[in-house]
Amino acid sequence: MSMLAAAMLLSWGASSLWVYHTAVAEADQLFDAALDHSAHAVLAVVRNEASELNEAKEGFGYELAVIDQSDQNDIVYQVRGPNGRLVFRSHGAPVEPLAGARDRGFGFAQVEGKEFRVFSLATELDAATIHVAQPLARRVALTRAGAVRLLAPGAALMLTLVLAVAWTVRTTTAPLVRYASALDELSPETDTAVDGSGLPRELQSVTRAVDGLLTRVHDSLLRERTLTADAAHELRTPLAALRLQAQVARRAKNRAESDAALDELLAGTDRAARMVDSVLTLARFDMHTGSRIGKGRIDVGRLAQLVIREFTPLAELRGISITPASDEALLLGDEDALAIALRNLLGNALRFARAQIAVEVISDGEHVTIRVRDDGPGFSEESRKRAFHRFFRGSEPGQQTDGAGLGLALVLRIVHLHSGTVQIVPGIDGGAGIELQFARL
């Protein structure tokens, strides 16, 4: 507000200064024109009374009564006869000559302690010379008074405008101040939008952007706290198991018992490490939004082949075959993130498959679909409902799994960051299947 008022005052001051100087210049021209006009008026009278000029003696107190002096601008005049002597002067005119007998046109004079603006004019054959003058002090006073009167409406208008702008700014920004205060009072746990209905229409888009940001921040905090709490809860069990195996190894009576306990200890350590790695990876992707995920060209078929090649040795060791089927498919996204999603899908399939896994990459006119299916036991009804929940392990009765329960949750997060969809589909011979679908490049 202060900057706006300062800019307005500066603009008004600059324009007023220009108007003032212009008014002074115009007034000077008008006053000079008045002197010229008065000189010609006196000249006309002198021509009519030219016979008296030759007979006139020093007429310092004589006045030409026929000359109109109704204009009270303190204009005075003097008339010289053919011999150069002053024969007439107006009331208030100085006794001393205002100009030289041969002076013509405009000039300045210092007479009897006063400064005058003088205009001199002569008749034909210099029978008479007229000096018309105006005191500079009076002239300056009238000029300044006129300029001030000219600027007064502008000053009043400027004051009114400043007050109107101040009132408008305060009235307009009052809802914004209330909105800012409401934002300051928000706590991190608040999930309700701040009421911005009172804001101007031009700021409604800002309100929507802030509400969206608050929602994302709330969701991020919720995911972080949930992940932290769940991770702490889930890590408690393997850590307790590690401690127990360490105690068993310490109390072992022979080398065989000690080796068995140490093997369990190593396996538990591996499970805890995988869980920590999964938690960190999921937390890293939770920090991203759809606009911040990498946007490179991905050859999905080639990427699937690379991931399958990583899992082939372990699959052959377990007697499981991985069958690839790939179309030429391109999409925009983060190749590393998509590779993590494929690894999690293949890792889950390899954990439950009996003999066969199928990895398909299908491209149609609008979408790229990635489908990973196995011939395992498939999803139970409960598993279908909670398959993508964090830390949910989908083992069937009688089966054990060393997973962290974060694989499908991580897949879901990566797919959402790519604006894709994920769903459970039928597997091979009653097994499980996961299908990812993305918009095609």
List all residues 6 or more positions away from 45 whose beta carbon is below 8 Å from its beta carbon: 64, 66, 67
Taking 60 as the threshold, does the pLDDT of residue 316 lie above it? yes
pLDDT of residue 287: 67
Q: How far apart are the first and last CA of the chain?
A: 50
Average pLDDT of the segment spanning 162-170: 78
More confident residue, 197 or 80: 80
Residue 387 burial by CB count (10 A; 0-12/13-18/19+): exposed, middle or buried? buried
Per-residue CA distances from 138 to 28, 141, 143, 151, 276 (Å) = 12, 5, 8, 20, 95
Mean pLDDT of the chain: 79
| Crossing angle of helices 136-184 and 2-48, rounded to 10° | 160
Delimiting residues of CATH 3.30.450 domain(s) in the chain:
2-146
Question: Average pLDDT, stretch 145-165?
Answer: 78
The top-scoring range by mean pLDDT among 42-51, 126-135, 198-207, 304-313 is 304-313
Domain(s) labelled CATH 3.30.565.10 in the chain stretch across 296-439
Residue 174 has, within 13 A of its CA and on its CB side, a CA count of 7
| CATH topology assigned to domain 204-286 | Helix Hairpins (1.10.287)
* pLDDT, position 357: 95
CA angle 23, 27, 31 (to 5 degrees): 175
Whether the predicted pLDDT of 59 surpasses 50: no
Question: In the CATH hierarchy, which top-level class contains the domain 2-146?
Answer: alpha beta
pLDDT digits (tens, 9 = 90+) for 354-393: 999 999 999 987 899 999 999 999 988 888 888 888 767 6
Q: How is residue 368 written in tokens?
A: 């790229």
* Topology annotation, domain 296-439: Heat Shock Protein 90 (3.30.565)
**pLDDT tier, 202 (very low <50, low <70, confident <90, very high otherwise):** confident
pLDDT at 195 over 50: yes
> Using CA atoms, how far apart are residues 277 and 148, in angstroms rounded to an integer?
81
pLDDT over 50 at 174, yes or no: yes
Residue 186 has pLDDT above 50, yes or no: yes
Angstrom distance (rounded) from CA 54 to CA 316: 143
User: Which part of the chain has CATH 1.10.287?
Assistant: 204-286
pLDDT over 60 (residue 111) = yes
- Closest by CA to 378, choosing from 363, 396, 357, is 396
Q: How confident is the model at residue 397 (pLDDT cuts 50, 70, 90)?
A: very low
